[in-house]
């Protein structure tokens, strides 16, 4: 018996909706198997992991804090991947955004008024965009593959950040801990009430709405889709593929940088070596789970936010490593890609023909 793919006459709309749902269901089923292999009650483990995070007000708040950067980076990457531009260095752009945005509060700590916050956010987005401009330039000028360059720059960005935080930007009163001075007042993002939910969530929502409109209602969105699916047709239509590379990388880099400064000026309040728990990489999964569609990304970002929270909860309640979260995220991406096959193909099982 063997598996055979049969091309559908057209994309299956039903499967387009169904495939992310099936992928999540399969991931949960795999999770149950893994938990029972670890000697845990699978029902309780899944409850702690995926349901408890959404049952309490404080954990819902925490979920928004985790989902905001994922959504913000994810929408940018969704546009990139649509256009067949493979920016996988969002983690580095996030780091650069965090560094650029932190320059003002660290170097000019007395600057305390509304403009400082706006400037910080702008600098953050600028830092991410500038850092993403490097692979864009190398790709358009020399034809260098952006996958490898953007990824290599992640390591470089983290080393640069490490140097700043241990070197010139270290808090002189910080007992030699590798962290910057604590941001204060206008240098911190406003939060909702006394909670941890901050302006970053609002900015993520704005990004989703804007990119939804751009992608579905404007010529630019059409251009992205044409260049991505049929580059030759795009050339005939007069769309420049170089301009597209620049557009995608600057956009996704800027959003990743914005997410970076929001992380520093939001939940942590100071620069430290570990700026993000891999949001830039997880956002790749978010983009695919959201079917490269801005609104889908919003839902997907929340789901992957749950997996981060579930990992932390499972570590406390079940005594298992929070690394399981990363494994789940990886498995999820596999299932998403596998299920997406169903959109274009029918799967048939062929029995060997007996002659």
Interface with another protein (CB under 8 A): 3-5, 7, 81, 86, 88, 138, 142-145, 147-149, 151-153, 155-156, 159-160, 162-163, 167, 281, 284-285, 288, 321, 323-331, 333-334, 337-338, 340-341, 344-345
Helix/strand/coil for 326: helix
DSSP for 127-155? HHHHHHHHHHHHHHHH---HHHHHHHHHH
Distances in Å between the Cα of 297 and the Cα atoms of 74, 84, 86, 158, 314 are: 6, 17, 17, 26, 25
Smallest gap, in angstroms, from Cβ of residue 141 to another protein? 9
Minimum CB distance to another protein, residue 138 (Å): 6
Residue with tokens 């400037």: 119
* Cβ atoms of residues 304 and 286 within 8 Å: yes
Angle at 102 (CA atoms; ends 100, 103), nearest 5 degrees: 70
Task: Please tell me the distance from the alpha carbon of residue 177 to that of residue 81, in angstroms, as a whole number.
Answer: 39
Tokens 């062929």 correspond to 350
User: Least CB distance from residue 284 to another protein, whole Å?
Assistant: 6
Considering the complex, state which of residue 222 and residue 334 has its C-beta at the smaller distance from another protein.
334
* R_g of the chain computed on alpha carbons: 22
- Rounded Cα distance between 340 and 29, Å, is 18
Q: How far is the CB of 324 from another protein (least distance, A)?
A: 6
**Taking the complex as a whole, how short is the minimal distance between the CB of residue 97 and another protein, in angstroms?**
19
Between 117 and 286, whose beta carbon lies closer to another protein? 286
Helix (H) / strand (E) element for 185: namely none
Nearer to another protein, 213 or 337 (CB): 337
Q: How far is the CB of 343 from another protein (least distance, A)?
A: 11
Cβ distance to another protein smaller for residue 103 or 151: 151
In the complex, least distance from residue 19 CB atom to another protein, rounded to whole angstroms: 12
By beta-carbon proximity to another protein, the closer residue of 121 and 134 is 134
**Contact residues for 212 (Cβ-Cβ < 8 A; gap 6+):** 293, 294, 295
């Amino acid at each position: 018996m063997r598996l055979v793919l049969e091309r559908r006459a057209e994309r299956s709309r039903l499967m387009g909706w169904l495939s992310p749902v099936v992928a999540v269901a399969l991931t949960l089923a795999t999770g149950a198997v893994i938990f029972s292999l670890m000697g845990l009650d699978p029902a309780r483990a899944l409850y702690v992991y995926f349901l408890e995070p959404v049952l309490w007000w404080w954990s819902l708040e925490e979920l928004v804090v985790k989902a905001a950067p994922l959504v913000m980076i994810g929408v940018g990457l969704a546009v990139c991947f649509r256009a067949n531009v493979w920016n996988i260095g969002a983690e580095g752009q996030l780091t650069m955004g965090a560094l650029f945005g932190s320059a003002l509060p660290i170097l000019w700590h007395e600057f305390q008024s509304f403009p400082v916050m706006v400037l910080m956010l702008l600098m953050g987005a600028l830092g991410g965009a500038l850092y993403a401009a490097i692979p864009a330039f190398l790709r358009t000028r020399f034809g260098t593959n952006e996958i490898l360059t953007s990824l290599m720059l992640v390591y470089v960005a983290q080393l640069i950040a490490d140097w700043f935080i241990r070197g010139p930007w270290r808090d002189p009163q910080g007992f030699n801990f590798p962290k910057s001075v604590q941001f204060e007042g206008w240098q911190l993002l406003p939060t909702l009430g006394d909670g941890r939910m901050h302006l970053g969530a609002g900015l993520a929502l704005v990004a989703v709405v804007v990119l939804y409109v751009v992608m579905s209602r404007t010529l630019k969105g059409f251009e992205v889709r044409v260049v991505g699916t049929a580059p030759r047709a795009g050339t005939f239509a007069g769309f420049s593929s170089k301009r597209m590379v620049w557009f995608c990388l600057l956009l996704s880099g800027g959003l990743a940088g914005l997410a970076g400064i929001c992380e520093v000026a939001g939940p942590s309040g100071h620069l430290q070596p570990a700026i993000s728990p891999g949001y830039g990489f997880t956002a790749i999964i978010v983009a695919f789970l959201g079917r490269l569609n801005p609104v889908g990304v919003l839902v997907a970002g929340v789901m992957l936010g749950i997996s981060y929270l579930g990992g932390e909860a499972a570590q406390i309640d079940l005594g298992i490593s929070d690394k399981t979260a990363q494994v789940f995220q990886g498995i999820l991406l596999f299932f998403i890609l596998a299920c997406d096959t169903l959109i274009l193909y029918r799967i048939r099982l062929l029995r060997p023909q007996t002659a």
